[in-house]
Amino acid sequence: MKLLTKPAYLLLVLAAATSCDSSNSPDPTPKATSVHLTLGNPSGAVADVKKPTNYLLLKPQYALSYHRDRGIPNWVSWHLDNTWRGAAPRQDDFRADDALPEGWYQVQGSSYQGSGFDRGHNCPSADRTKTVADNSATFLMTNMTPQAPRSNQQTWARLEEYCRSLADTGKELYILCGSYGKGGSGSDGGVTQTIDEGHVTVPRRCWKVVIILPIGSNDAARVSTGTRVIAIDSPNDNSIGSNWGQYRVSVDAIEAATGLDLLSAVSPAVQAKLESTVDAGPTE
């Protein structure tokens, strides 16, 4: 074994001395929040079995509020910078999420089959490629929403790619998305209210909010009135295309439609400015 240099030894001693728990036992009280909720918890979701319509699920890779009776999340929130991205291949292991409370219906990987709707990721597969475990976590069905194929593969896919391109240029992003309403139009046409024998509601609209920051500490105080915020609200309809820019709205409009309180960790004055503005920046 190679001997440690004196400075390295001192660092180890300091690290041990400042750690309030022994390093070889699990933390008995995991933090109640995560980096993914740095800018807030839009619905005050909690991991309480008595709150089936606003149930908090925290994963290392993202955080979400799950609606048991709709079978889809109310919102999903995640942090994106290039430390989340790597070479892990797409896992494609769509599956039920057994982290839900006992007795709750679990949407299955096959639940959308033949519905005319995609198993649309909220937190995208391609945003979580650092490790196989990270990528696999995005395929839990609690991270899915039945989405019209063109909405998923064109509208959202283009915006997701744009977000990753911003990460590639040294940005750090906080992203939230979700859906609301009932009744979408998939590849089979018409309007579909639910699938999977009523266990999964097909939403009418899908929304996404992107906060773009320079790389830095994970701190809501870094959001200023000059921070770029992109918000879109698009129909869950297979007639739409790749031009996500045309669906830009204010964050206020999404809050009005959903009842959520977005960016609640940001100071009220900054929120007021950012949430009333509609992005007019580049789309590619």
Q: Is 149 in the site for DNA (CB under 7 A)?
A: yes
CB of 34 to DNA, least distance (A): 21
> What residues have CB less than 8 Å from 57, skipping those under 6 apart?
47, 63, 64, 65, 66, 97, 99, 100, 142
Structure tokens at 113: 């089959």
Give the shortest CB-187-to-DNA separation in angstroms. Answer: 8
161 binds DNA (CB under 7 A): yes
Shortest CB 93 distance to DNA, Å: 5
Residues contacting DNA: total by CB under 7 A: 27
E strands, the chain, are 55-58, 63-67, 72-80, 118-121, 144-147, 171-180, 194-195, 200-201, 205-214, 228-235
With respect to DNA, which residue has the nearer C-beta, 88 or 270? 88
**Is residue 82 close enough to count as binding DNA by CB under 7 A?**
no
Those residues with Cβ within 8 angstroms of residue 145's Cβ, 6 or more apart along the chain or in another chain:
72, 73, 120, 122, 178, 179, 203, 206
User: Is 152 within any annotated ligand binding site?
Assistant: yes
158 forms part of the interface with DNA (CB under 7 A): yes
- Residue 121 annotated to the active site: yes
- How far apart (Å, rounded) are the C-alpha atoms in residues 113 and 156? 21
For position 78 contacting DNA by CB under 7 A, the verdict is: no
Mask: binding to DNA, 92-121, rule CB under 7 A, as x and -? xxx-----------------xxx--xxxxx
Stretch that binds DNA, among 15-23, 158-166, 219-227, 230-238 (CB under 7 A): 158-166
- DSSP letter assigned to residue 192: B
- Would you mind telling me the total number of residues written for the chain in this entry? 284
**Interface residue with DNA, options 154, 218, 264, 277 (CB under 7 A):** 154
As given in the structure block, the two tokens for residue 171 are 């940005």
Which residues contact residue 118 at a Cβ distance below 8 angstroms, ignoring those fewer than 6 apart?
112, 146, 147, 148, 149, 152, 153
Binding of residue 235 to DNA (CB under 7 A) = no
Write the DSSP assignment of 90-138 as a string of letters. Answer: P----B--TTSPTTS----TTTTTTSS-EEEESS-GGG--SSHHHHHHT
x/- binding map, residues 236-265, to DNA, per CB under 7 A? -----xx-----------------------
Say whether residue 178 binds DNA (CB under 7 A): no
**CB closer to DNA out of 124 and 203:** 124
Would you list which residues are annotated within the binding site for Mg(2+)? 152
Known binding-site positions? 152
Q: Contact residues for DNA (CB under 7 A)?
A: 90, 92-94, 112-114, 117-121, 124-126, 129, 147, 149, 152-154, 157-158, 160-161, 241-242
Residues carrying an active site annotation: 121
